[in-house]
Structure 1
């Protein structure tokens, strides 16, 4: 039997409606791809890991960049590419997620993808800024085995698709744990009217944080159940996408609000937790090569009159919270390295009518 999402259990979060897929892919053009590695090696080690790619659009992202920014809630992480993202405010590569020790391999696979698309990179136009985020899946995965290769990153990118997104134990989420249960990939979206326009916010998470004692049931309280063993503090990567016309400063403000959705689930951003947010808008594209006679670019951005921007903040908080719950609800019990087992969350703990 397929595992259910949070709304399948009769539980809704917030006052806004979702998009068609209740997913980051409700933002037109956004695609998601996974490569899942789940097997046992010849010498008995369990591989439970993978790669996930998020594409802001289907065209050449290096040539047609999108506005973006990032925000660090707690910096116990090994991401690459966020320094330049914060400095220049644009995203020019797919966003890749994987395990901590596989960041170099995934970076290489992504840069090779960009080099194939853009012969001028490294010759006539400088370099490219690849963004890779990570969480530590070493509790279940043979992380020392370095099983993720550059070709897996390339495969995740070229297989990315719109529509329904696989969640739970898939791609980068294959070996992740969350709040004492199996975690992984989750997504959700929110739509609302902004005057005569309608905009969407999509959240996408790689969840790998917290203990069972921290878990707060939606609409309820603490679970008050201890873990059988002490877990590492863990991490979470959160990606926010929107079709609302936001500039990079506004996107950083949006990214900050992901921390509220995260905290609702029970996280307090522990000492060893890497809690990192990347946000982008698909409303405008920034050309890599400007016309020689054009010194400036002019775009319209959402006005910050309080009501509209605050509404966008609220949508983001709700979408992040639900995406985290979807990452847990869709995950299945997984046996990992050293005989460790991370159990799927039992639906009976939820207060929904189907629980």
Structure 2
């Protein structure tokens, strides 16, 4: 990893004076504001590699949690989706990585789970990916079980690192270096009978014209292999799987707010889950959660860009960080 003349310190988009939406954020403005949700990451850099693993680990996954998947464009790999669609639950952590490491990560996740449940005979690992082959030697498939287990074992409820870390180490988006981003929103108690937080984490790697609060930010297109986005939505709202599917679809829609062109080769996925197993939310009350998820995804995607550093990687290709002066104080 190397910086060019555009050296700047990573900043979350709010630190640059850009306020997305009107709902209040959680204390960390992160997916880990949802009680019981933890994030761990392993980052690999050097010798032509810019890749890694990001693990989202919710408490109670082993007893299953209500969940749903939304597919914006299915040109990608999201292991485990058919069972989530069929049963409306997840039963493992959710892991993100580079495309050709997807199945190694899934296998390592199974090993980690079997070590913790000696009686398990069937598990449905959830692993998503985007293609980081522009900045990383993706054909090496460098992710080992030790890398996966380190991400899982290090998962914490603190503010996750953003930008060039974990599964976002080698990703690009909207013409700039991107990576991992996160954000959250809280709802007034009147909007929720139990729980009031929506948090998201994104792995941004897609094309389009960066747009910040309606302002286009031109960039030189990056001729990267693969244009995709993985979005993980967590909440403690009492939603059932069908309602979580509605939330996940809004998460994919929110990509358009930052300028995604939803290209034919883009794999755009959202998986939403709740830590609350007691459904009881009326469909007519979903306006607040819909707003919360769209605002959170928009801000998380912007954070994935403003927290990234200019990176030189495989075959001396370079992806530049978005210059902060182009978006500072936009309203």
Q: Say whether the fold is shared (TM-score over 0.5).
A: yes
1:233 positional shift:
5.0
- Give the direction of change, closer, same or farther, for the CA distance of 1:264–1:149 in structure 2 (3 Å limit): same
Q: Displacement of 1:303 after TM fit?
A: 1.2
**Which protein has the larger Cα radius of gyration, Structure 1 or Structure 2?**
1
Please list, as runs of the form range in 1=range in 2, the aligned pairs for 1:277-316 lying within 5 A after superposition. 277-284=270-277, 299-305=278-284, 308-316=285-293
Contact (CA 8 Å) 1:233, 1:270: kept in 2 or not?
A: no
C-alpha offsets along residues 314-341 of structure 1, whole Å, 9 cap, x if unaligned? 1100000000000000000111000101
**Large movers: runs of 4+ above 4 Å:** none
Choose which of 311, 315, 321 in structure 2 pairs with 1:334.
311
TM-score of the pair, normalised by structure 2: 0.94
Give 3-state SS (helix, strand or coil) of 2:25's partner: coil
Instruction: State the number of aligned residues.
Output: 322
Name 1:223's counterpart in structure 2: 217
For the residues of structure 2 that align with 1:182 and 1:351, how far apart are their CA atoms? 17
| Structure 1 residues 317 and 51: alpha-carbon distance in aligned structure 2, compared to 1, 3 A threshold | same
Give the match for residue 16 of structure 1: 23
For residues 181-220 of structure 1, the aligned pairs below 5 Å read 181-195=176-190, 197=193, 199-211=196-208, 214-220=209-215
Segments of structure 2 that go 5 or more residues without pairing to the other structure are: 1-7
Deviations 1:294-313 (A, max 9, x none): xxxxx3421122xx211110
Partner of 1:324: 301
State whether residues 107 and 150 of structure 1, in contact with CA within 8 Å, keep that contact through their aligned partners in structure 2: no
CA contact (8 A) 1:233 1:271 kept: no
Instruction: Verify: 1:350 aligned to 2:303, yes or no.
Output: no
Describe how 1:1-355 pairs up with structure 2 within 5 A: 2-40=9-47, 46-57=48-59, 61-62=61-62, 64-122=63-121, 127-195=122-190, 197=193, 199-211=196-208, 214-220=209-215, 222-227=216-221, 230-284=223-277, 299-305=278-284, 308-352=285-329
CA offset digits 1:191-241 (Å, max 9, x no partner)? 011427550100110000014xx1112242x224442x5344510000000
Deviation at 1:185, TM superposition (A): 0.2
Deviation, structure 1 residue 146: 1.1
